């Protein structure tokens, strides 16, 4: 199954060639998979909407690059499986990696939620990437490093420093400077004295 | 506990962002209390309400603590203010006026952050605004983050003579404080994110940063005039820029399909 670019290139006109000292470049982008079920005997239609082509054009102008990081956030509008055969799907990425001057490229695969889309688990994307022989070869040669980035775990809620408030809050902000009305521990340590646990 | 204090201090410095670890250490040996105190208060977040910050204190508790222990102000290196949407409430205004007094005590700040002002810079109490702008004069100040604060006067940054890092996220210019001419800042690290096209235009025209070594930029890459402005910013620092971070977002896309039938784009 082929992979056809439908619309003409929407290239960025930005050129990085004047940046003679540029060593490290990070490019982040949202990449979207679209799916529509076939009907009346027509096959399913898959689409892949990405700025890889524009990024490739930009990278051609970066001449002194030492390290490139591609920070891609993947989304899908329907099924949680990727369309196409991997070779066709990732051919624009293969072109990008093979044409860039950077000796080392990190590809960070992220899952974040975009309105109207579903975030794809990084494992699904990396599994599809691993099925593309050209990319696998680049990984083996050490040109490309694929890094799945797992979503952050929820941060536990911070509780007050101690069950017994060490610092007595003022009864109102109006009397904040009235020291007689406040009670402080001798060392004013918000966790209490050592050994008090 | 035979390690020298400076070694212990260095080890503890790695725990600055880990309130729970600092708490555990403080309870392990009396010697740690004195050492830990300055790490515990190195980074402080204050709110205009009663929210508990990462170091386990409410804003009013911290203000109270500082008023009785002014030496703690010398430990603060990074100060962040997060303003909620309750600015109209008189209680919030009172909090912010009290926070202004905290600001005036912090003479060794490295970094200052102001975020989420729903009603814009102009809606903040005057005492807070003046104290914040005074902080920009501090010789120790190296980093300023303005996050979703519309109308913050960029020209005030001219007073931050030692500023090295500037973050502008979700900034929009105020009607009466559009920068009138370019300003040279000696910043080395600039982050511009989620600013609309007109704000970007103002920032890039206003800012001259020839010594920029690191730039983070997210913007409308398809807007040709913005690309032109960004190119002029890049060319002004072309001999210094080492690190560039560009976020294309959902822009500049090509559409690939397995059928010559476009589903949508």
The torsion region of residue B153 among left (phi > 0), alpha (psi -120 to 50) and beta comes to beta
Kindly give, in sequence order, each residue whose CB lies less than 8 Å from that of residue B135, ignoring residues fewer than 6 positions away: B103, B106, B109, B112, B141
Nearest CA in chain B to A84: B258
Average pLDDT over residues A26-50: 77
Structure tokens at A38: 């076939």
pLDDT band at A170 (very low <50, low <70, confident <90, very high): very low
Of residues A4 and A70, more confidence is placed in A70
Asked if residue B189 lies in contact with residue B164, where contact means CB atoms within 8 angstroms, the answer is: yes
Closest CB to A18 among B234, B253, B264: B234
CA dist B34 and B75 (Å) reads 12
Structure tokens at B11: 């080890």
Q: What are phi and psi of B53, to 5 degrees?
A: -85, 175
- Are the Cβ atoms of B69 and A16 closer than 8 angstroms? no
* Beta-carbon count within 10 A of A140 CB: 9
Chain centroid offset of residue B243 CA: 20
Q: Which of residues 209-248 of B touch A (CB under 8 A)?
A: 218, 221-222, 224, 227-228, 230-231, 234-235, 238-248
CA dist A169 and B68 (Å) reads 12
CA dist A104 and B70 (Å) reads 51
Closest CB to B247 among A12, A28, A197: A28
Please state which of the ranges A149-163, B81-95, B148-162, B233-247 shows the lowest mean pLDDT: A149-163
CA dist A91 and B199 (Å) reads 37
Give the residues across from A105 on adjacent strands. Answer: A68, A144
Closest CB to A177 among B67, B242, B246: B67
User: How long a stretch of residues is chain B?
Assistant: 265
Nearest residue to A48 (alpha-carbon basis) of B165, B254, B241: B254
Q: Say whether pTM exceeds 0.80.
A: no
pLDDT band at A195 (very low <50, low <70, confident <90, very high): very low
Closest CB to A4 among B32, B98, B256: B256
The torsion region of residue B99 among left (phi > 0), alpha (psi -120 to 50) and beta comes to alpha
- Are the Cβ atoms of B255 and A189 closer than 8 angstroms? no
- Are the Cβ atoms of A84 and B241 closer than 8 angstroms? no
First to last CA, chain A: 66
- Alpha-carbon dihedral angle through residues A41, A43, A49, A52, given to the nearest 10 degrees: -160
Asked if residue B45 lies in contact with residue B78, where contact means CB atoms within 8 angstroms, the answer is: no
First to last CA, chain B: 65
CA dist B174 and B158 (Å) reads 17
pLDDT at B165: 94
pLDDT in tens, B101-140: 889 999 999 999 998 777 788 888 899 999 999 999 999 9
Dihedral sign, Cα of residue B149, residue B215, residue B246, residue A142: negative
- Are the Cβ atoms of B253 and A12 closer than 8 angstroms? no
pLDDT at B226: 75
pLDDT at B183: 66
Within an 8 Å CB–CB cutoff, is residue A112 touching chain B?
no
């Amino acid at each position: 199954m082929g992979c056809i670019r439908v619309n003409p290139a929407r290239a960025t006109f930005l050129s990085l060639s004047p940046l003679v000292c540029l060593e490290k470049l990070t490019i982040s982008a949202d990449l979207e998979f679209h799916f529509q079920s076939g009907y009346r005997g027509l096959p399913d239609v898959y689409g892949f909407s990405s700025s890889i082509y524009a990024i490739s054009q930009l990278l051609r102008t970066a001449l002194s690059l030492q390290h490139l990081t591609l920070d891609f956030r993947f989304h899908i509008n329907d099924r949680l499986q990727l369309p196409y055969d991997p070779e066709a799907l990732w051919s624009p990425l293969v072109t990008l990696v093979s044409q860039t001057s950077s000796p080392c490229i990190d590809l960070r695969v992220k899952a974040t939620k975009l309105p109207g889309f579903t975030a794809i688990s990084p494992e699904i994307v990396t599994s599809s990437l691993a099925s593309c022989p050209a990319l696998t070869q680049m990984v083996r040669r050490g040109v490309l490093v694929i890094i799945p980035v797992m979503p952050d775990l929820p941060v536990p809620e911070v509780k007050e420093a101690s069950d017994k408030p060490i610092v007595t809050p003022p009864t109102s902000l109006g009397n904040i400077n009235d020291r007689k009305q406040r009670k402080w521990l001798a060392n004013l340590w918000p966790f209490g004295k050592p050994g008090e646990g | 506990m035979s390690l020298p204090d400076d070694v212990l201090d260095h080890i503890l410095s790695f725990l600055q962002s880990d309130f729970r670890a600092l708490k555990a250490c403080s309870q392990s040996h009396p010697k740690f209390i004195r050492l830990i105190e300055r790490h515990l208060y190195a980074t402080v977040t204050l709110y205009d309400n009663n929210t508990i910050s990462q170091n386990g204190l409410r804003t009013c508790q911290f203000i109270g603590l500082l008023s009785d222990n002014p030496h703690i102000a010398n430990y603060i290196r990074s100060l962040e203010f997060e303003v909620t949407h309750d600015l109209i409430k008189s209680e919030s205004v009172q909090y912010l006026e009290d926070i202004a007094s905290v600001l005036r005590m912090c003479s060794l700040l490295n970094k200052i952050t102001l975020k989420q002002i729903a009603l814009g810079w102009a809606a903040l109490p005057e005492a807070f605004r003046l104290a914040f702008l005074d902080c920009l004069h501090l010789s120790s100040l190296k980093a300023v983050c303005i996050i979703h604060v519309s109308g913050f006067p960029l020209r005030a940054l001219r007073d931050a003579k030692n500023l090295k890092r500037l973050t502008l996220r979700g900034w929009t210019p105020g009607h009466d404080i559009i920068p009138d001419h370019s300003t040279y800042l000696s910043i080395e690290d600039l982050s511009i994110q989620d600013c609309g096209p007109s704000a970007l235009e103002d920032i890039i025209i206003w800012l001259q940063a020839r010594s920029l070594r690191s730039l983070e930029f997210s913007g409308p890459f398809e807007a040709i005039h913005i690309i032109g402005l960004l190119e002029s910013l890049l060319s002004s620092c072309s001999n210094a820029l080492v690190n560039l971070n560009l976020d294309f977002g959902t822009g500049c896309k090509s559409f690939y399909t397995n059928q010559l039938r476009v589903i949508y784009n």
